[in-house]
Structure 1
């Protein structure tokens, strides 16, 4: 038999795959050199990039919780399971009557023949590694594609009703109620259904408001929030790659926040250059829109800080050509110095690779005074950092509409002593009483965090 001219390449890929398997078990790559306090706040320390052939892989394998175990709240707080036994709950939304909607969702399947990052031998190995990483991290399960309603009628922190509200969606994520219409951000479109207070199931099939960039879906999650009068909706769309390696044509309309007219569905770009924006919230003192953003990977455990930032209309935040304002990413070609020159630096660094997803501002009625003014952030946790970061919910205090101090741990214990993931926090919201709700997609639960002693 004649040897195939492609056999050496295949062997190289197999060899790299074997190496990657070992790395997934043992962890790999360079270790962070900066302490957490140097990588958070308005002026984080930025080190030189450190790109390696195989990215740093340090994922926490998903193991879930036992039937009675729970994460650990900060002093003065207590945690209960509003609901357990959910199917990959990613997002939570509180309705005016106190009912809680939970998006049970995961990444949609890739279109046939598509690739997340090129077709060369190194790209194939990287894609193989990422597939294993996501599976070990609990992200490999099929999407339930539904929204479930939770009702805690007696206010004891435990939902007596757990009812499928709407099914057959497309990897749903964010939700927003405007009048009698519930808007849902699917992976491929913003849709809506009618809603009347007290409904436990949707009374009609979803109607498309506007299509959203989809396709390969390197970042598939889409969030939505309404402005004060409900006339405009703001929708997040993450990038289709780490740094544009699929070509910028695949990034059309992505790495951005869109403004959508709630009545007509017409939309325009509101802000861009945001690699993977997720949580959206209005800061209550200034009524300014804020978001949390997952920054780029594969240039070291200390780069690049994920962040919390106000969102300025028409602003550009750098991705993929630069980060933290004007710091050029030399991996991206061709360079665009004219865009780098206008890139805005974010307001507040949350640390490298913490993967912030959920965002909600606190309310004095539900929390002790030290947590009465600021932002709660669900940090899903790193895969590209050693040591691990994230895997917790933090609180960033605010004064005068701006962050005013370092992050404070609110809910921890999602990692076991041997660094396996009992859970991973995602979406956060306030319930009707002002208590904090946390969607836990690995733990398959929604947690409720409240004062340890009622008022």
Structure 2
């Protein structure tokens, strides 16, 4: 065998060297200027790399790229800022953020952000109101006073008002409103507007809509559907829900592993009919099972709904059956706190950010995962516990939440690279494919782009840490770890000669 290896000619070795160098140049293994986080470097799934692009932001929540590829960021309690993301001409795969510019100042803005298809109207939300402004992406400025679109959403506890402009239903604005407490009994009444998702016709609006009174109902009984997105091929609307804390049933504390967080299908806004649309999804009476063995007197399976509290003739699992409440399409481990869902353009994958737990002895979440989609829905069945495959995660969740990143929102740039905000650490990450191909290209019809699950949804491996530089008041990154193809080939050549 050694003789066969030694027989490789210089020409063949050179060819391999050139191929390996080309592959390595797609996404450089190391970058000359890097940022360092205050916590251990993240773990990244095989085939992916992570770049810490910016630090020093004020609770970055909603993010998106405008039509000139400027990253717009809701800095909660401050307003909206723009970052310029640069490619390093001399180091392939290396990124930096050069200029931070304030687009508008409004301390009430806290999460939601959208941009019209032509890039000329910017939308954002406070706890009580959804607004729009005229926007110029050439110099990242708003060019008008705010227009109030939807109001009367004030409340406590869950105060984000996520926005969505569905491309399959232009002229509509979708607005999510969560509950006002862990168990919000007002959500039992459809007329309160609590824990609901509605759509509003903003093309022909004659004045502000009242959230409680107006709008087209997509669903109610949705405790805190922070993340919402449109599946790009069919136009189906999906949301990810943060479920209840401190759960008990029949006097037993089952909150460690129940109820499951949810992926809900809410129907369509493009005229396609769906029995899901406008249904009651359960809250605050019914919740979805994750660990069925922990739930007393429950005979259902993962993803099916059950009642909480002390069961009796009026409070029982029959109330929560599919005939009476809409079950989720998928469930996730309890308390992972999904905050965003983002589809790739082909509809083959949905990316989900998990902000992380506070109500569990062993922290969970604190990661970004991907779910395979096909024909407008997840590939995995509704009782799957492995549908979400981890791509970016904290190395040690026992250090969380104080010493780790906390994913919030996701956005693709024009090159198909995925960006993630972390509010607790004031950071922006980029998630790239190691082969230099777009992150947006992964999915069920692209073999090998989503790692195989190990049975728990986890497939991560450690990446490298980072060091720091500053640009325009915002710290900038270029990082990642692992052995380059070039270094690997040199090791191989050393072996054979």
Give 1:96 shift: 2.1
Task: State the match for 1:440 in structure 2.
Answer: 422
- Match of 1:408, SS? strand
Match of 1:409 among 379, 390, 397: 390
Matched residue count: 346
Task: State the match for 2:403 in structure 1.
Answer: 421
1:244 corresponds to 2:177: no
Give 1:323 shift: 1.7
Q: After superposing the two structures, state which structure 1 stretch, 69-78 or 313-322, moved more.
A: 69-78
Q: How does 1:50-449 map to 2 (within 5 A)?
A: 66=37, 70-105=41-76, 144-154=77-87, 156-178=94-116, 179=118, 180-215=120-155, 217-228=156-167, 229-244=169-184, 252-263=192-203, 264=205, 265-266=208-209, 267-299=215-247, 300-312=255-267, 313-324=277-288, 326-330=305-309, 341-363=323-345, 373-405=348-380, 406-413=387-394, 415=396, 418-419=399-400, 420-449=402-431
- Match of 1:277, SS? coil
The gaps in structure 1 that reach 5 residues or longer are: 1-63, 106-143, 365-371
The answer to whether the Cα contact below 8 Å between 2:187 and 2:195 also exists between their aligned partners in 1 is no
Give 1:388 shift: 1.5
- Match of 2:361, SS? coil
Give 1:346 shift: 0.4
Cα 1:255–1:65 change in 2 (3 A) is farther
Cα 1:388–1:226 change in 2 (3 A) is same
Q: Distance in 2 between matches of 1:311 and 1:343?
A: 13
Q: Distance in 2 between matches of 1:431 and 1:212?
A: 33
Q: Distance in 1 between matches of 2:63 and 2:103?
A: 13
The answer to whether the Cα contact below 8 Å between 1:84 and 1:445 also exists between their aligned partners in 2 is yes
Root mean square deviation of aligned Cα: 2.8
Structure possessing the higher radius of gyration over alpha carbons: 2
Cα 1:296–1:417 change in 2 (3 A) is closer
Give 1:251 shift: 8.8
Q: After superposing the two structures, state which structure 1 stretch, 171-180 or 384-393, moved more.
A: 171-180
Cα 1:248–1:423 change in 2 (3 A) is same
Q: 1:90-137 CA deviation, whole Å, 9 max, x = no partner?
A: 1211212211111111xxxxxxxxxxxxxxxxxxxxxxxxxxxxxxxx
Q: 1:407-441 CA deviation, whole Å, 9 max, x = no partner?
A: 11111126466444321111112121111111101
Give 1:330 shift: 2.7
The answer to whether the Cα contact below 8 Å between 2:197 and 2:218 also exists between their aligned partners in 1 is yes
The answer to whether the Cα contact below 8 Å between 1:363 and 1:434 also exists between their aligned partners in 2 is no
Task: State the match for 2:452 in structure 1.
Answer: none
The gaps in structure 2 that reach 5 residues or longer are: 1-34, 89-93, 210-214, 248-254, 268-276, 289-303, 381-386, 438-497
TM-score of the superposed pair, with normalisation by structure 1: 0.70
Cα 1:257–1:74 change in 2 (3 A) is same
Q: 1:252-299 CA deviation, whole Å, 9 max, x = no partner?
A: 212110111113154233211100001111112322111100111112
Cα 1:212–1:421 change in 2 (3 A) is farther
Give 1:332 shift: 10
Cα 1:418–1:330 change in 2 (3 A) is closer
Cα 1:278–1:80 change in 2 (3 A) is same
Give 1:339 shift: 8.0
Give 1:343 shift: 0.7
Q: Distance in 1 between matches of 2:311 and 2:340?
A: 29
